[in-house]
């Protein structure tokens, strides 16, 4: 039993799981929102889809691993290929189910994420589009957190009745008012909007979703750029021999650190101003949106320290062990990067909470390899 648990832990790379929750938390922070039910659903969906990708990766690479990494669970015979493929399918279904509970926009993003994961594992990783596909998947994971956070709660409906409002609701007015009066009121609402529920905006939910996605795009782009750099190095981890890949990743990560340490000015809180009608139509800048400079600097330093040193070693000596260590460092560096993204959006508490995952990831990485 213990051997089976370890085999599945290796197949699913459970030590890398702690790099996942920060995506959704950074996505919520990009909106100026506190993590809520939607964020929790996004974290669950992300974990399932990430693990699906791990299982599918080893299923697709089973023939190559039999030569380069015979110790892995499938080529070593500890897990059958059929079981790994079934796990990938079940985890994908579970991830999409959780995303669906956060709303249709979140399900749409999760579907794109799942499609990207499967396309990468089954074909794209062996092409020049591999790093871009993996970067897109990680960016979509952060956007999933943003859309799921925005998509749950009453404000996502686009119509909200004021607290303390009296009298019949628009939906039941025709049942309690005289027919002629109800028809007149219905016509007035159709032309000018009902004051109690806000102006008629049939397309508001979709418009709000687009606004939420746009707000999270800068953070998603930074996370995607980091993922692209690390994935480019990972393509050489079996044989090693590449100096250009770790040097390129090193330059990219230093540039990302310089970009991330800049405080994000003018962060916007995507909540309606009081008395301004429907949710999401009117926004106000969130006061004090920038994280304290000392915190942002410390988090960025942690990000660079985690990623830069192993990349430098791999550039100087591109052997398979050092290249694999550089990839592992790049994966672990996602946690402080997520913390930076949350903090620079004004969610210092979220950034610190994400950093709390670092010692857990480090402890588990000693028992189960990240790559």
pLDDT at 193 over 80: no
Q: 25 near 39, Cβ under 8 Å?
A: yes
Radius of gyration of the chain (CA): 24
- At residue 368, does pLDDT exceed 90? no
Distance of alpha carbon 177 from alpha carbon 160, whole angstroms: 21
**Model pLDDT for residues 44-80, shown as the tens digit of each residue:** 999 999 999 999 999 999 999 999 889 999 999 999 9
| Residue written as token pair 């985690």 | 306
List the Cα angle 51/147/349 in 5-degree steps.
80
Measuring CA to CA, how many Å separate 279 from each of 27, 145, 184, 205, 274?
Answer: 19, 19, 26, 9, 10
- For the chain, the structural domain boundaries read 2-156+206-365
For residues 272 and 155, the answer to whether their CB atoms sit within 8 Å is yes
Structure tokens at 357: 């995952």
- Whether the full predicted model's pTM is greater than 0.75, yes or no, is yes
Predicted confidence band at 313 (pLDDT cuts at 50, 70, 90)? very high
Once rounded to an integer, what is the mean pLDDT over residues 159-186?
Answer: 43
pLDDT of residue 272: 46
Which range, of 100-109, 133-142, 145-154, 295-304, averages the lowest pLDDT? 145-154
Q: Which residue has the higher pLDDT, 238 or 302?
A: 302
Count of CA atoms in the C-beta half-sphere (13 A) of 130: 16
The architecture of the domain spanning 2-156+206-365 is Orthogonal Bundle (1.10)
pLDDT of 264 > 50? The answer is yes
Q: What is the 3-state secondary structure (H, E, C) of the chain?
A: CHHHHHHHHHHCCHHHHHHCHHHHHHHHHHCCCCCCHHHHHHHHHHHHHHHHHHHHHHHHCHHHHHHHCCCCCCCCCCCCHHHHHHHHHHHHHHHHHHHHCCCHHHHHHHHHHHHHHHHHHHCHHHCCCHHHHHHHHHHHHHHHHHHHHHHCCHHHHCCCCCCCCCCCCCCCHHHHCCHHHHHHHHHHHHHHCECCCECCCCCHHHHHHHHHHHHHHHHHHHHHHHHHHHHHHHCCCCCCCCCHHHHHHHHHHHHHHHHHCCCCCCCEEEEECCCCCCCCCCEEECCCCCCCHHHHHHHHHHHHHHHHHHHHHHHHCCCHHHHHHHHHHHHHCHHHHHHHHHHHCCCHHHHHHHHCCHHHHHHHHCCCCCC
Within 8 A by CB and 6+ apart from 94, the residues are 48
- Cα–Cα distance, 349 to 341 (Å, whole number): 12
Tokens representing 234? 């990972």
What are the b/e assignments for 331-343, b being 16+ CB within 10 Å? bbbbbbbbbbbbb
pLDDT (mean) for 181-187: 47
């Amino acid at each position: 039993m213990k051997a089976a648990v370890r085999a599945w832990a290796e197949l699913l790379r459970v030590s890398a799981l702690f790099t996942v929750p920060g995506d959704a938390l950074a996505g919520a922070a990009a909106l100026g929102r506190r993590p809520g039910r939607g964020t929790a659903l996004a974290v669950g969906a992300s974990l399932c889809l990430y693990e699906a990708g791990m299982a599918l990766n080893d299923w697709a690479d089973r023939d190559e691993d039999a030569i380069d990494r015979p110790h892995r669970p499938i080529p070593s015979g500890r897990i059958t290929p059929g079981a790994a493929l079934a796990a990938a399918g079940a985890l994908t279904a579970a991830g999409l189910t959780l995303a669906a509970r956060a709303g249709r926009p979140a399900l749409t993003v999760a579907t794109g994420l799942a499609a990207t994961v499967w396309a990468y594992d089954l074909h794209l990783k062996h092409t020049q589009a591999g790093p871009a596909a993996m970067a897109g998947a990680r960016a979509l994971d952060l956007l999933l957190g943003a859309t799921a956070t925005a998509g749950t709660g009453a404000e996502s409906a686009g119509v909200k009745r004021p607290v303390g409002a009296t009298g019949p609701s628009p939906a039941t007015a025709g049942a309690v008012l005289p027919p002629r009066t109800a028809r007149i009121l219905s016509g007035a609402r159709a032309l000018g909007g009902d004051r109690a529920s806000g102006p008629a905006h049939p397309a508001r939910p979709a418009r709000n979703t687009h606004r939420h996605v746009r707000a999270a795009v800068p953070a998603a782009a930074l996370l995607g750029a980091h993922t692209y750099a690390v994935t480019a190095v990972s393509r050489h981890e079996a044989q090693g021999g590449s100096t250009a890949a770790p040097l390129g990743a090193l330059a990219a990560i230093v540039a990302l650190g310089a970009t991330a340490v800049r405080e994000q000015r003018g962060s916007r809180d995507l909540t309606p101003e009081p008395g301004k009608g429907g949710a999401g139509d009117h926004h106000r800048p969130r006061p004090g949106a920038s994280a304290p400079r000392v915190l942002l600097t410390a988090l960025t330093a942690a990000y660079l320290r985690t990623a830069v040193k192993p990349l430098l070693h791999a550039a100087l000596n591109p052997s398979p062990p050092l290249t694999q260590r550089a990839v592992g460092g790049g994966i672990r560096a996602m946690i402080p990067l997520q913390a930076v993204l949350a903090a620079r959006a004004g969610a210092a508490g979220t950034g610190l909470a994400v950093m709390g995952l670092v010692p857990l990831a480090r402890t588990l990485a000693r028992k189960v390899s990240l790559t």
